[in-house]
Structure 1
Amino acid sequence: MTRGFQETRRRAAARKIPVNTTANRQQNTAERWERRVHLGAHPVLYPIIRGLGGLRPVLRIPGLGVLVSEAGLVREVLMSHDAYVKNGPSGSGALWTPVVGPKALVNMDGEEHRLLRRRLGDLFTPRSVEGIVEPAAAALKARVHEELEVHGRVDLVDCVKELAGGVISRLLGVPEHAPGRLADRELFDLGSSISSLVRLGRPTLTARQVAKGRSAVDVLAGPVRAAYRESDPDTFPGRLRELGMSEDEAMGIISAFVMVGTETLVSFVPRLVALLADSGRLCELAADRSAVPAAVNEALRFTVPSPMMLRDAVVDGSLGGTKVLAGDRILLSTIHAAKSLGGFDPAQATPQQARQLWFGAGPHFCIGMPLAMAEINTTLELLLDLYAQRPWHIAARQVSRGVLIPGYRKLELAHA
């Protein structure tokens, strides 16, 4: 057993809450709902992955690949970009190339990827991110206030889908009142239709799936190409042109952001809110916002919005004492690596090897992380402000079933 594996078990034991307390009962409720969310998405695969991850930190699974379940080893693979690549024949990057083209950042490796990432870096400064999120956040605030005031309840999942759609519209460079402009929810559904093509057991897309993905990208392409050709630096496509991207490169990059970020955001935000409500932490956070960052980071650790990452080994080597061969498909179980550290507890610091692992590590660390965090924090601050004025509770919820990214299908909030 590796030292990292032993440390994981020690950390998990340290997170246990004393029995027969109100906090323990609330914690059990929160964790029970999270388990339902995972089982709703993957009723067979989730228990298997968690069970296999508990056996050994690295395990070869015939016909599927090499499963890596310990945080330190997951990070080692992500950092070893010369030995493990994202754009191999069975890696996640290769899935997207037929849909968005060869230069979409998410499907690139090596020096070409590094240079493109460096050029894109300034697009995700705090000021740039604020300009992308602010209009969508204002629409979110208006809708939540109106529905709680008029109808007494609001479906947070549907609201976050509109928020994500509003951010997509800004990335596409769509003028707010443009003729024929797709509604924010329609834009989300379009992005979701692309990302939903991916399955863990699917190393490649079929011709029909590629055609479906390209059809959705073609709808996105119209406003992107128009904004690109107008060279307006206030639009995201216009800024990509200023950076020297070709029109096709800009289209690929924006399509990649749309399909990678939408599902994970809509999965995480309602789960974050449910976790805080179920565990009895809303009142504390509404009164003391200094505790919000730790609560959000711990919720990211415990829910793991990106439960699995894929890489291809390109050289022979060894991981945790297990031999790895060039050509092996590497399954990085971030879901086990993070959850095995124990229950939801914002007071416990995440060990170094697991920090922000859900956003990746190394050269492929999520470049859109500041954008995702802005959307998360905006939504949570709004809900905490509302809670401080008049407490709300979860009135109804349904988990999503048969989806790639676990989440809630509905999460209705209502005033008491």
Structure 2
Amino acid sequence: MSKQGAAATGEGIDWWSILTDRAFLENPYDELKRLQALGPVHLDEASGVYFVLGHRAFLKVAKSSELGRDTRHWKNGWTAPDYRVHDPVGYRLFSEFQPQMINCDGAEHARMRKVYEPAFRSQAVRDVGALVEAEAAELLDAMPREGTVDFIEAFAGPLPLRVLCKLFDIPQSLDETVARWSASLIRIGDILMTPDQKSEALEALTEFKAFLREHVAARRARPGDSLMDLAIRAHDDGTLDEEETLTNLVSMLVAGHETTVTLIGNGLLLLLRHPGEMVRLRADRNLLRTAIEEFLRMEPGGNMILRVAREDVEVEGTLIPAGAPVLGLVGAINRDPARFERADEVDIGRPANAQLTFGSGPHVCIGAPLARLEAHIAFSALLDRYASIELAGEPEWRLDRLNARGLGRLPVRVGGAA
């Protein structure tokens, strides 16, 4: 086995030009199919990043104990000796964003994740259903009975934000501020960030933590059983230190918001572009569960999933050395023809849908059950409210981020009581 192995295929690919190209950000799938046909794993010599496009290959990456999510193991990453000198803002941003479960592995990761797992177990998530239904109904009541509306602005954007803020006991008056912080911090997942984006994200992180520090202190005086209370109890009993408490809260609010916005928005766009599937779903609401998995597969809310090799590891004949970053390209992984029949076709009844939008292995998204519940309630309420939902213009994808894949605008024309 050679050191590069299968990674040698596709040499000369300008990965970062592709990933930052406007056309790719709007529709990556044709280009991803071309790259996937060259092999499941590729090394970008210029950056040292290994790109994974195959479903089987990425499952190995996600589940292997030799690979993790702790970027402190990245050989030439932000912990490299000269990084602090060359990029002090970036170093401060990544170091202050580090102490949280998504960025740790092994026992450190398990210790933090255990704090929040009770809130995302089946019964606990089901108990949130009434809250989600009430928020969805309020937003739908504010939308026109007939006419044109931007679905992202009116519904998909505010719904998960309102739910999360209620769960964390954050007043609705802060919705716009939390959304602004979230929009800045979500770019940390882009890998490539401009100096201005790093400064903006650091400012948002500093402000967010300062707010949460005061919010936690106030909430401690009136304890309950919310997500916030889980965090407070874990801090008070020594399971989490203060920075871990604050950074995990920031991350859950940011990721929990963006994940569900993209799931609801991208999912509706798929139905609008495949009206036969919309008719099928209206006729049989039992298909909602599999429909949501198909939305996640066909239009994932993220382009990339990051892992870092803690030790040398072989993936599909390629030796990935310790310290190397690995990026799973989700749009290719979820449409791998070696894993999915009719991989490029939308089928809301697709059985055994092995999509990997939420990842896999120890770092599988902890909030995935909540995102699925919110999407299920959102689509049920939407189809109950409107007999007709159609595109009313060209959707606009957000082009200010490389990883989080979502719509900035989705104009729809709604009408009629369902």
Q: Residue 170 of structure 1 aligns to a residue in which SS?
A: helix
The answer to whether the 8 Å contact 2:28/2:331 transfers is no
The answer to whether the 8 Å contact 1:87/1:109 transfers is yes
> Take 1:131 and 1:187, find their aligned partners in 2: how far apart are those partners?
24
State the match for 1:58 in structure 2: 41
With 238-247 and 199-208 compared, the bigger mean Cα shift is at 199-208
> Take 2:164 and 2:25, find their aligned partners in 1: how far apart are those partners?
28
The answer to whether the 8 Å contact 2:184/2:200 transfers is no
> Take 2:195 and 2:357, find their aligned partners in 1: how far apart are those partners?
23
The answer to whether the 8 Å contact 2:52/2:329 transfers is yes
- Is 1:391 the equivalent of 2:388? yes
Paired amino acid for 2:267:
L
Q: Residue 410 of structure 2 aligns to a residue in which SS?
A: strand
> C-alpha offsets along residues 255-306 of structure 1, whole Å, 9 cap, x if unaligned?
1111223223222211111211221222221231111111111111111222
Instruction: Let me know the Cα RMSD of the aligned residues.
Output: 3.1
> C-alpha offsets along residues 50-95 of structure 1, whole Å, 9 cap, x if unaligned?
43222011111112311111111101111113x1121134499988
Superposed counterparts of 1:151-300, under 5 Å: 152-158=147-153, 159-174=155-170, 181-182=173-174, 184-202=175-193, 208-209=199-200, 211-218=202-209, 220-222=211-213, 224-243=215-234, 244=237, 245-280=240-275, 281-300=277-296
> Take 1:278 and 1:211, find their aligned partners in 2: how far apart are those partners?
38
The answer to whether the 8 Å contact 1:232/1:239 transfers is no
State the match for 1:98 in structure 2: 95
Q: Which of these residues, 51, 59, 75, is aligned with residue 67 of structure 1?
A: 51
State the match for 1:369 in structure 2: 368
> Take 2:214 and 2:128, find their aligned partners in 1: how far apart are those partners?
16
Offset, 1:359: 0.8
> C-alpha offsets along residues 17-49 of structure 1, whole Å, 9 cap, x if unaligned?
xxxxxxxxxxxxxxxxxxxxx955626977655
The answer to whether the 8 Å contact 2:55/2:336 transfers is no
> Take 1:201 and 1:45, find their aligned partners in 2: how far apart are those partners?
18
Offset, 1:201: 3.3
Q: Residue 71 of structure 2 aligns to a residue in which SS?
A: coil
Offset, 1:323: 2.1
Offset, 1:204: 10
State the match for 1:358 in structure 2: 357
Q: Residue 218 of structure 1 aligns to a residue in which SS?
A: helix
Distance change (3 Å), C-alpha of 1:155 and 1:401: closer
The answer to whether the 8 Å contact 2:266/2:299 transfers is yes
> C-alpha offsets along residues 307-357 of structure 1, whole Å, 9 cap, x if unaligned?
211111122232111222112211112221112331222344356xxx241
The answer to whether the 8 Å contact 1:58/1:322 transfers is yes
Q: Which of these residues, 284, 290, 308, is aligned with residue 312 of structure 1?
A: 308
Q: Which of these residues, 61, 69, 80, is aligned with residue 86 of structure 1?
A: 69
> Take 2:141 and 2:297, find their aligned partners in 1: how far apart are those partners?
30
Q: Residue 148 of structure 1 aligns to a residue in which SS?
A: coil
State the match for 2:351 in structure 1: 349
- Is 1:121 the equivalent of 2:125? no
- Aligned pairs, how many? 366
Q: Residue 334 of structure 2 aligns to a residue in which SS?
A: helix
Distance change (3 Å), C-alpha of 1:45 and 1:272: closer
The answer to whether the 8 Å contact 1:397/1:409 transfers is no
Q: Residue 412 of structure 2 aligns to a residue in which SS?
A: strand
Q: Structure 2: any 5+ residue segments left out of the alignment?
A: 1-20, 80-89, 338-342
> Equivalent pairs: percent with the same residue?
22
Offset, 1:228: 4.2
Distance change (3 Å), C-alpha of 1:111 and 1:299: same
Offset, 1:193: 1.8
With 230-239 and 375-384 compared, the bigger mean Cα shift is at 230-239
Paired amino acid for 1:196:
R
> C-alpha offsets along residues 178-214 of structure 1, whole Å, 9 cap, x if unaligned?
xxx41x3442232222112442335999863553242
Q: Residue 42 of structure 1 aligns to a residue in which SS?
A: helix
State the match for 1:334 in structure 2: 330
